[in-house]
Amino acid sequence: MELDRAAWAALRASTPLSLTEADLSDLRGTNDPTSLDEVRDIYLPLSRLLNLYVGATQQRHAAVRAFLGESDRPSPFIIGVAGSVAVGKSTTARLLRSLLAQWPNHPDVELVSTDNFLHPNSVLQARGLMRRKGFPESYDRRALVRFVSEMKAGADRLDIPVYSHLHYDVVPGERQTVHRPDILIVEGINVLQPATAGRLAVADFFDYSIYVDAKVDNVRSWYLDRFRELRRTAFSDPRSYFHHMATTIEETQALEFAANTWETINEVNLVENIRPTRGRATLVLFKGDDHRVSRVRLRKT
């Protein structure tokens, strides 16, 4: 089923807008123009829909637990959020975490990025994969699947690695502790990848999945705009892996590097690995040239 923006926005019904402009500023990614109008028209209806799904799933789990004579908490409802680099999927995931936590029947919502499961740079270098960072083979897929499967099985607490975008690497010794939530959001470019024969994929454990989509040319433009902003802000930090991009390399050369990175890495990954998984999503958010969602496609079953 496909709905235009107006038809989708009408499905918000009476869902209240709890976010302020200050809240939204904290949730937006670098150079992401998402506005409160976008939250009202796109993300509140999505929050309402997901709340209905979560409620129905919780009722089903309660019935099964009653049948088995169990009394423990149900396993988390798991949502996957996929899409290209720079398309805005991280902002989407953070917005959903904030909005879903406002519903009284599932206040505990956790967000995990699959970046935490990238192999450390030392491993990628040893395997000749630094120029394939973000491709499926650059992740510790077994560890990611193990984490999601153990969460789904009802683990009370799991510790996972932490990835730093500042250092462009997994942080040695640092861990993110994930306590069993009502809802777990797993965000990453390749979360909808199918499994190889005889294995499980992380998407096999999702109760709902979302793909954030846009034309390749638009995503390229947003990627370069974001790079310019990062060069002015985060890259100026001496601790940044890309500090030299803000200090020792001229802007023209830096932008040539960014354009080459997009064309030889990110666009290749998008076309070969990420976009082909779009059809596996339960819901697709299509963004127009202005970064606003123009239409929504969803499966009704």
Consult the annotation and say whether 83 binds a ligand.
yes
Consult the annotation and say whether 90 binds a ligand.
yes
Sorted by sequence, the CB contacts under 8 Å of residue 47 that are 6+ apart come out as: 15, 96, 99, 100, 102, 103
Distance between CA atoms of 143 and 90, rounded to whole angstroms? 21
Q: Which amino acid is at 146?
A: R
Consult the annotation and say whether 87 binds a ligand.
yes
Place of tokens 């409802």: 77
Distance between CA atoms of 45 and 210, rounded to whole angstroms? 14
CA-to-CA separations, 33 to 37, 54, 91, 210, 232, in angstroms, rounded: 11, 29, 10, 20, 17
Consult the annotation and say whether 86 binds a ligand.
yes
Consult the annotation and say whether 201 binds a ligand.
no
Consult the annotation and say whether 88 binds a ligand.
yes
Are the C-beta atoms of 182 and 236 separated by less than 8 Å?
no
Whose CA is closest to 267, among 219, 213, 230? 219
Residue 73 backbone dihedrals phi, psi, to 5 degrees: -65, 150
Q: 291 - beta bridge partners?
A: none
Place of tokens 């004579």: 69
Residue 87 C-beta-side C-alpha neighbours within 13 Å: 29
The structure tokens listed for 15 are 């869902």
* Residues placed in the known binding site: 83-90
* Residues placed in the known binding site for ATP: 83-90
